[in-house]
Amino acid sequence: MLSASLDETLLVLALESEAQGLFGDFHAIYTGVGKVNATYRLILGLLDWKEKRGAYPKLVFNVGSAGSSLFKQGSLVNCTQFIQRDMDVTACGHTRYTTPNEDASPVFSAGLRAEPYPQGVCGSGDSFTTDGKMQGWNVVDMEAYALAKVCVGQGIPFCCLKYISDGADGQAVETWDNTQASIAQSLYKAVRAIVVKG
């Protein structure tokens, strides 16, 4: 369950183009693309928040676009589990997608439930997926795993809501480019319905 107000929520997006100027009433940060940028920018955002307010936000809310060959384009998916899809240390005897000496399982459960949206397993990696393959996940992005990891490590509630912008296939780049306005509008409407104003 989500219990934070708008003023207690840090909204996290990868790109300003996914916001289209609609999220001006939120405390929002833009991380840039990829897991390293996401980790770095979120940590800076959290430190800045804590310095100004004396405590971390009550909720970090990650919204943005994602690809999927399983969910319908234009749908919103609440990701509550995450996989680092480009982690591969199988040559050393470890299970694929599992971080050695850190993770017991490839699947990292971290996201809060946001009704009424379907739940998703998000495969995050530093590549833009165009082959349509879903290998243990049903949504692909490039940041959410890292964001979830930071939040769990700092004891901050985390919620993730993704707009399915493309089929993670051969048309993914063009389709993603053409859906920026729809991404922003749908996510803004959803987030305002979830997060209490105050």
Strand 119-124 vs strand 139-141: parallel, antiparallel, or unpaired?
parallel
What pTM was computed for the model? Answer: 0.94
Q: Is 70:118 a contact under the CB 8 Å cutoff?
A: no
Residue 181, helix vs strand vs coil: helix
Q: Is 45:51 a contact under the CB 8 Å cutoff?
A: no
Greatest mean pLDDT range, 55-59, 103-107, 133-137: 55-59
182/83: higher pLDDT: 83
For 115, other C-beta atoms within 10 Å of its C-beta total 8
154/169: higher pLDDT: 154
Q: What is the pLDDT of residues 51-79, one digit of tens each?
A: 999 999 999 999 999 999 999 999 999 99
Predicted confidence band of residue 48 (pLDDT cuts 50, 70, 90): very high
Handedness of CA 14, 16, 22, 25 (dihedral sign): positive
Domains and CATH numbers, the chain: 6-194 (3.40.50.1580)
Residue 184, helix vs strand vs coil: helix
